[in-house]
A and B are shown apart, each in its own frame.
Chain A
Amino acid sequence: SPGTVLETHCTRRQNISHIRFILIQNRAGKTRLAKWYMQFDDDEKQKLIEEVHAVVTVRDAKHTNFVEFRNFKIIYRRYAGLYFCICVDVTDNNLAYLEGIHNFVEVLNEYFHNVCELDLVFNFYKVYTVVDEMFLAGEIRETSQTKVLKQLLMLQSLE
């Protein structure tokens, strides 16, 4: 029946989310956050982390904030010694994700009162919460800084 035909073909289709991963790395290549929205095995993750570092750190300030990466692209921005990188499809909106990074960084900055690299190290488990508030399933979940911070403060108050 057509119904089953449809189903089998839908399952066969490869479906991958828009954001493939979010990485925060320092200049030395130490990972401060790795959030994956696609299945990779551990070796592959390590390879991606190294490749992204190699691709991004050689670029200077006059370069674009976008760089082709395998079949995807990395949208990245550097804040002090940290690189915030988002890997998306080549057809995705570069500037929207670039500002998505900045919006995220402003939330971190507010939440940790002038965020620095060490905050991300010692509070790594909280950073995941911030990410999940703003990005979920590889999509943008919430963009309002006010709303995100309100929610984070509420969670902070819970025991």
Chain B
Amino acid sequence: MPAVSKGDGMRGLAVFISDIRNCKSKEAEIKRINKELANIRSKFKGDKALDGYSKKKYVCKLLFIFLLGHDIDFGHMEAVNLLSSNKYTEKQIGYLFISVLVNSNSELIRLINNAIKNDLSSRNPTFMCLALHCIANVGSREMAEAFAGEIPRILVAGDTMDSVKQSAALCLLRLYKASPDLVLMGEWTSRVVHLLNDQHMGVVTAAISLITCLSSKNPDEFKTCVSLAVSRLSRIVSSASTDLQDYTYYFVPAPWLSCKLLRLLQCYPPPEDGAVKGRLVECLETILNKAQEPPKSKKVQHSNAKNAILFEAISLIIHYDSEPNLLVRACNQLGQFLQHRETNLRYLALESMCTLASSEFSHEAVKTHIETVINALKTERDVSVRQRAADLLYAMCDRSNAKQIVAEMLSYLETADYSIREEMVLKVAILAEKYAVDYSWYVDTILNLIRIAGDYVSEEVWYRVIQIVINRDDVQGYAAKTVFEALQAPACHENMVKVGGYILGEFGNLIAGDPRSSPLVQFNLLHSKFHLCSVPTRALLLSAYIKFINLFPETKATIQEVLRSDSQIRNSDVELQQRAVEYLKLSSIASTDVLATVLEEMPPFPERESSILAKLKKKKGPGAVSVELEDGKERGELNGGGDRGGDASTPSPSADLLGLRSTAPVSGTTPSAGSLLVDVFSEAGPSATSAGVNDDGFLSSAPPTVASEDPAPPLPESDELLNKFVCKNNGVLFENQLLQIGIKSEYRQNLGRMYLFYGNKTSVQFVSFNTTVSCPGELQSHILQLEPLVEGGAQVQQVINIECLTDFIDAPLLNIKFRYGGALQNISLKLPVTINKFFQPTEMAAADFFQRWKQLSQPQQEAQKIFKASHGMDTEVLKAKLLGLGTALLENVDPNPENYVCAGVIQTKAQQVGCLLRLEPNAQAQVHTHKCILLDSRLIMCHQCKSILNSC
């Protein structure tokens, strides 16, 4: 019993713990505990006041009992009493009990807070640390309310001891995470950032966690940390292995601090200051160089510490994704690790390379390691390493190596761990579809998939192969031949029977010329599998049989016989019985013509999202699939239909607006079916957002081979968005299965501020979350960077400031990139900034209005449009819209009370442009005539106004 032998412990506690350990049974233990509880209770209730030591001992025993898994319903007050002891050991036990056991019981919290307050102001560093640790451990809102103001003061005060500073920094971090609204850094910001310069490395180590968290929330306020972090890092990296004394770990100087510094830098884009950037690149190069140096120690601790820094540096290099030289060096370094004897390093190299594979600079370099990765897939002992190898193969797959990778994955599947088979099957199916250069390869691959891992082939996979075969007449004959051969196997998987039944029922005629696969042979083959199949498969086969009767009249008698047999027509399963009865009747009474019509070949499936993709998304989250499959292919479905024709995809935004105008509903109404825009209050769920994948992209128009890091082209519905937000400033800007983006914006004169709210709809983190805005030259924007992590279920806010320099047509583009489950998501949207946002309403009298109206009616100054009143003629709706446009609605100005007139001034930095509007509703024709007059003769403005008119 070491505690006793040290002479500083509590003898009674040690004895009690020994007793418990000696208990032979659970019952004996419970008995001993109950005895102790009774004893402690009586001591606490006794008349005699307990001394501090006894109180400490009993509270500690209660804690031990609690940690054994028993409930404790008393002793809290005694623990709180210990807090006001002057003895460290008593105080410590009091605080420990509270940290472990007390939840926000309001009465006690007040007492606890009081004790903490006393200790914080005690100027005794030991007591201050105990109090700070208690706050950091409990972190309740009540504590934040009580101490969030005090702790920053302690943190930056000149006379605070280093150890107290360390605790204060992390205590503040805990409070900030729990109650960010209560922790206001304001005046302390700069002093907190300068803790990066603190002499005491422990203070820097603790403070940097706080700074990283604060920076990720308010990057602008903390951006001075970048240069400080770079210089601190540079000093560490260039120091000799003994310079840092206490902070050198197995010959590696300050490994944890280095990692934290590198991580802090990942909250920011590359430094703009050339000198700072140069210094940082130098650091990164030094770190990469050190990886090549002979180790200073053979201990694994040495290499682990060194490599911890290396991997963090590589993360930063990938985060910047702008230094091809460093990216390629990183890739080569990882390549070496792929064959390292340490399993940890092989694992981490595979994982890290997976992200490198999607950078355009390093994709090719990653591909050179394909053989090693394939080998890892075959030989690694640890399933999680094999999993990483499979992920990397999936990530590095492109048109050039798809056949090899798919073949390797297929052969791995034969022996793959059960835990990852289903995912592997989906990945193979997706790669096969994505990179198919000929359909026969695709069909072979999927049938192999069913043969090898039939149990793991979900319905989605075999549905998909059928969809594709139905839609492609050039592969139907091959598919029929292949399934026919596959069905020859004595034991083939039921999924194979399903695919076979379906395909032969549709296209068996294509191989019926060969006597070896004559209609009757085909039928007998299928029917030989019938009795071993489940009900749904039998039902499918019955449908295939009736299709046979149509395709091959010579099989009619045989098949009718089968249908008529008791095992069909009297089957206990109602579905099978019904099919047998109906098909039998149909085949006996319908004429050949009727039969041919009823049993006609299946029409092509509508183009829609790959069902496999949907499945993988559901399984791993959409991010498991590179977005390029979805990108830009929704066009056909989303914009198809209606009378818009091809308009919707024309590149000019104004043309788009015009094109969409006729059918797209604008703000305030329920979004049309298939629209990606879900209004905040509408009931429509994300189900409406499923993206379509059209098969045209499957073969002909080859998608890009890698998930490109370049900003994706704006979503086709972006323009529709602009319309939606012309007259309003708040709403949901975008939503898919992963992400929802809400927007709130406000404008004053030529300035605008937008708040974007990114909501992670999944339960998984988004990493490397990064957003950029690209503006036309006429606008200037400033975007506050976000932290690169968005927790599952979390919402983060971003502020964008916009200044309108002069009139403009193109809306700014917002690009959002992040990784979800390793795969890059790349979304571009148009920000709803239209020129009318910079309207200042102008009140004017009737005389003024018409005087100006007449003065300014040269053709290039006006725009007029007649359009259908898609929102009816309701006065209030129209008024609201016109006000939403930003102009002043002038009452009693127009002699015709039916008309609406408005006036406003468009404020840009360069000039102010007056604008007069008149809307003439024509109730009979349900149309409006909308005329806009501008105090500016430039067409660009007029053009823009025309677009805006469309949305009213």
B166 at the interface (CB under 8 A from A): yes
Shortest C-beta distance, B178 to chain A (Å), equals: 7
Tell me which residues across on chain B come within 8 A of A125, comparing CB atoms. Answer: 60, 63, 92-93, 96
Render A35-62 as a binary contact track against B, CB cut-off 8 A, 1 for contact. Answer: 0000000000010000000000001001
CB within 8 Å of B: which A11-55 residues: 11-18, 31, 34, 46
Docked-complex contact A99 and B249, CB < 8 angstroms: yes
Q: Mark B298-313, 1 if CB is under 8 A from A, else 0.
A: 0001001101100110
Query: Known contacts A95-B344, A151-B163, A155-B88: does B795 contact A12 (CB below 8 Å)?
Result: yes
Which of A14, A112, A118 has a CB less than 8 Å from the CB of B794?
A14
Pairwise interchain contact B173-A137, C-beta atoms closer than 8 A: yes
Q: Which residue of A lies closest to B162 (CB)?
A: A147
- Nearest CB in chain B: distance from A140 CB, A: 5
Please choose the segment from B202-210, B513-521, B557-565 that sits at the chain A interface, where 4 or more of its residues have CB less than 8 A away: B202-210
In the complex with contacts A10-B217, A118-B2, A125-B96, A71-B763 CB distance below 8 A: yes
Choose one: B88, B764, B796; the contact of A159 (CB below 8 Å).
B88
Query: Which chain A residue lies CB-closest to B788?
Result: A91
Report B-chain residues with C-beta under 8 Å of the C-beta of A96. Answer: 255-256, 259, 308, 312
Establish whether residues A91 and B173, one from each chain, have CB atoms under 8 Å apart when the complex forms. no
Chain B residues, CB < 8 A from A62: 343, 381-382
Contact B206 A136 (CB under 8 A): yes
Min CB distance A85 to B, Å, is 15
Known contacts A71-B764, A136-B171, A143-B257, A122 near B69 by CB under 8 Å: no
B21 touching A2, Cβ below 8 Å? no
Residues of A within 8 A of B209 (CB): 18, 137, 139-140
- Given known contacts A2-B753, A128-B96, A15 and B765 CB-to-CB distance under 8 angstroms: no
Asked if B1 and A118 sit within 8 Å, CB to CB, the answer is: yes
**CB of B792 closer than 8 Å to a CB of A:** yes
Residue of B171, B259, B796 with most chain A CB atoms under a 10 A cut-off: B259
Q: Are B344 and A141 in contact (CB under 8 A)?
A: no
Check: A124 CB closer than 8 A to any chain B CB: yes
- In the assembled complex, the CB of B92 is this many whole angstroms from the nearest CB of chain A, namely 7
With CB as the reference atom, state the residue of chain A lying closest to B141.
A11
Given contacts A93-B311, A95-B304, contact A15 B2 (CB under 8 A): no
Q: From the candidates A11, A89, A124, A145, name the one contacting B765 in the complex (CB within 8 A).
A: A89
Complex contact A95–B343 (CB within 8 A) = no
A48-82 CB mask vs B (1 if < 8 Å, else 0) is: 00000000000100111111100100000000000
Determine the chain A residues whose CB is within 8 A of the CB of B301 once the complex forms.
Answer: 99, 102
- Taking CB atoms and an 8 Å cut-off, the chain A residues in 129-148 that contact chain B are 129, 132, 136-147
Chain A residues whose CB sits within 8 angstroms of the CB of B92 once the complex forms: 125, 129, 155
**Which of B205, B384, B789 has a CB less than 8 Å from the CB of A66?**
B384
> By the criterion CB–CB under 8 Å, are A142 and B206 in contact?
yes
- A17 to chain B: closest residue by CB: B177
Which one, A13, A98, A136, A138, contacts B304 given CB within 8 A? A98
Q: Cβ of B167: which chain A residues have Cβ within 8 Å of it? A: 136, 141
What B residues does A59 contact at CB under 8 A?
382
CB nearest to A119 among chain B residues? B2
Contact with B along A83-98 (1 / 0, CB 8 A): 0000001110111101
CB-CB under 8 A from B763, the residues of chain A are 71
- B247, A122: Cβ atoms under 8 Å? no
Task: Give A26 Cβ to nearest chain B Cβ, in Å.
Answer: 13
Q: With A96-B255, A122-B9, A125-B92 as given contacts, are A64 and B180 in contact (CB-CB < 8 Å)?
A: no
What CA separation (Å) do A149 and B3 show in the bound complex? Answer: 17
Most B CB contacts (10 A, CB to CB) among A18, A122, A137 go to A137
Using a Cβ–Cβ cut-off of 8 Å, how many residues does chain B contribute to the interface with A? 90
Taken together as a complex, chains A and B put the C-alpha atoms of A68 and B311 apart, in Å, by 18
* A94 (CB) vs chain B CBs: closest residue: B348
Tell me, rounded to whole Å, the shortest Cβ–Cβ distance linking B795 to chain A: 6
Which B residues are in CB contact (< 8 Å) with A158? 87-89, 126
Closest to B342 in A: A64
Contact A142 B789 (CB under 8 A): no
Is B202's CB under 8 angstroms from A93's CB?
no
B27 proximal to A (CB < 8 A): no
B170 within 8 A of A: yes
Which residues of B in the span 735-751 have a Cβ within 8 Å of any Cβ on A?
Answer: 744, 746
- The answer to whether B343 and A13 touch across the interface, beta carbons within 8 angstroms, is no
Tell me the nearest residue of chain B to A148, going by C-beta.
Answer: B202
What size tier do the contact residues of chain A reach? 35 or more
Establish whether residues B133 and A132, one from each chain, have CB atoms under 8 Å apart when the complex forms: yes
Q: Which residues of A contact B744 (CB under 8 A)?
A: 5
Whether B246 is near chain A, meaning CB under 8 Å from some CB there, is: yes
Docked CA distance A17–B172 (Å): 12
Q: Which residue of A lies closest to B302 (CB)?
A: A99
Instruction: Give the complex CA separation of A31 and B100 in angstroms.
Output: 15
Q: What's the nearest-Cβ distance from chain A to residue B796, in Å?
A: 6
Q: Is the CB of A143 within 8 A of B202?
A: yes
The answer for the CA separation of A139 and B343 in the assembled complex, in Å, is 26
What's the minimum C-beta distance from A46 to chain B, rounded to whole angstroms?
Answer: 7
B173:A123 contact, CB within 8 angstroms: no
Cβ of A64 and Cβ of B746 under 8 Å apart? no
Q: Is the CB of B2 within 8 A of A13?
A: no
**With an 8 A cutoff between CB atoms, is B139 at the interface?**
yes
Query: Does chain A have a CB within 8 A of B460?
Result: no
**Is B28 an interface position by the 8 A CB rule?**
no
Interface presence of B328 (CB below 8 A): no
- The residues of B that contact A63 with a CB separation of less than 8 Å are 343, 381-382, 384
Given A14-B791, A94-B344, A96-B256, A68 contacting B765 (CB threshold 8 A)? no
Q: Is B767 an interface residue (CB 8 A)?
A: yes
Quick check: is B776 within 8 A (CB to CB) of the other chain? no
Set of chain B residues within 8 Å of A6, measured between Cβ atoms: 755, 797, 799
Docked complex Cα distance between A25 and B95 (Å):
24
Query: What is the CA–CA distance of A128 and B126 in the complex, to the nearest angstrom?
Result: 15
Say whether, besides A62-B343, A119-B2, A147-B246, A142 and B166 are in contact (CB < 8 Å): yes
A96 CB to nearest chain B CB (Å): 4
Name the residue among A98, A119, A132 with the largest chain B CB count within 10 angstroms: A132
**Do A10 and B344 touch (CB < 8 A)?**
no
> Which A residues are in CB contact (< 8 Å) with B767?
91
A155-B3 Cα distance, complex, nearest whole Å: 15
Nearest Cβ distance between residue B746 and chain A, in whole angstroms? 7
- Which residues on the B side are within 8 Å of A112 (C-beta)? 2
The chain B residue sitting closest to A67, CB to CB, is B384
Q: A16-B791, A125-B96, A142-B205 are in contact. Are A46 and B382 (CB under 8 A)?
A: no
CB-defined contacts of B794 to chain A, threshold 8 Å: 13-15
Report how far A34 CA is from B385 CA in the complex, Å: 28
| Residues in A whose Cβ lies below 8 Å from that of B797 | 5-6, 9-10
Indicate whether A137 sits within 8 Å of B180 (C-beta atoms), given known contacts A91-B767, A122-B2, A147-B246.
no
CB distance from B98 to the nearest CB of A (A): 12
Q: Does B586 contact A (CB under 8 A)?
A: no
Asked if B696 is at the interface of the complex by the 8 Å CB criterion, the answer is no
**Shortest beta-carbon distance, B580 to chain A, in Å?**
49
Residues on A lying within 8 angstroms of B by beta carbon are 2, 5-7, 9-18, 31, 34, 46, 59, 62-68, 71, 89-91, 93-96, 98-100, 102-103, 112, 118-119, 121-125, 128-129, 132, 136-147, 151, 154-156, 158-159
26 pairs across A/B with beta carbons < 8 Å?
A: A9-B796, A10-B180, A13-B180, A13-B795, A62-B381, A66-B344, A66-B347, A66-B384, A67-B384, A94-B344, A94-B348, A96-B256, A100-B256, A118-B1, A118-B2, A119-B2, A122-B2, A122-B3, A122-B4, A125-B63, A136-B174, A137-B170, A137-B171, A142-B163, A146-B246, A156-B8
User: Chain B residues in contact with chain A, CB under 8 A?
Assistant: 1-4, 8-9, 14, 17, 21, 60, 63-64, 67, 69, 87-89, 92-93, 96, 99-100, 126, 133, 136-137, 139, 163, 166-167, 170-171, 173-174, 176-181, 201-202, 205-206, 209, 217, 245-247, 249, 254-257, 259-260, 263, 301, 304-305, 307-308, 311-312, 343-344, 347-348, 381-382, 384-385, 744, 746, 753, 755, 757, 763-765, 767, 789, 791-797, 799
| Other 4 A-B pairs with CB < 8 A, given A64-B344, A91-B789, A96-B312 | A66-B347, A95-B344, A139-B209, A142-B206
